[in-house]
């Protein structure tokens, strides 16, 4: 039997979380990696406060920059069908996403609504856009769907299409 409750959890993905990303301290690193390094203290504060994390499927917090390097290499690959796709890109992507979203919770001045941290990550960070770009490239290269499908939510790809090019909006 289903029971109705008076509370409603609204999908607030259209309005991203307001969260400042720390300045990149290392101009020699890819912007996504620099973001991750800059967010480490915020991630650690959130983990200490909550006592838990969604990170750890394939890497811990110290492995996030290396996980992003995997996606950077894929984004730059000339032949994605021949790329080394061993391991789970989905697990790496979920760890990257958990790291960023948990850091964002520490930096935000309010409790985010449903999917606001997701939208912030995919639409307002270099790392999130990198994952969407790699997913698209893998799909267009004809790589097996099981590899690329879980890397980023389809709704975030469509949000980019509705709002125009992310690269143009970041200029």
Most confident range, picked from 10-14, 20-24, 153-157? 153-157
| Residue 171, pLDDT score | 35
| Residue 58, pLDDT score | 92
Give the C-alpha separation, 9 to 135, whole Å: 29
Q: Residue 79: is its pLDDT beyond 90?
A: no
| Residue 23, pLDDT score | 55
Mean pLDDT value across residues 67-92: 84
pLDDT in tens, 106-165: 887 766 676 788 888 998 899 999 999 999 999 999 988 988 999 999 888 766 554 544
Outline where the chain has alpha helix (H): 31-38, 40-50, 64-76, 89-107, 116-124, 126-140, 145-148, 154-163, 166-169
Give the C-alpha separation, 141 to 89, whole Å: 16
% the chain with pLDDT above 70: 74
């Amino acid at each position: 039997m289903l029971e109705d409750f008076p509370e409603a959890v609204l999908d607030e993905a259209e309005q991203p979380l307001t969260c400042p990303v720390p300045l990149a301290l290392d101009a020699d690193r890819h912007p996504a990696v620099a973001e991750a390094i800059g967010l480490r203290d915020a991630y650690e504060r959130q983990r200490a406060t909550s006592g838990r994390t969604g990170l750890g499927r394939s890497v811990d917090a110290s492995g996030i920059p290396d996980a992003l390097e995997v996606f950077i290499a894929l984004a730059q690959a000339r032949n994605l069908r021949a790329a080394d796709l061993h391991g789970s890109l989905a697990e790496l992507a979920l760890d990257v996403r958990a790291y960023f979203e948990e850091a964002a919770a520490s930096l935000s001045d309010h409790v985010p609504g449903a999917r606001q941290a997701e939208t912030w990550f995919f639409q307002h960070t270099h790392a999130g856009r990198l994952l969407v770009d790699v997913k698209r490239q893998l799909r267009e290269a004809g790589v097996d769907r099981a590899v690329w499908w879980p890397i980023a939510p389809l709704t975030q790809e469509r949000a980019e299409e509705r709002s125009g090019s992310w690269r143009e909006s970041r200029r």
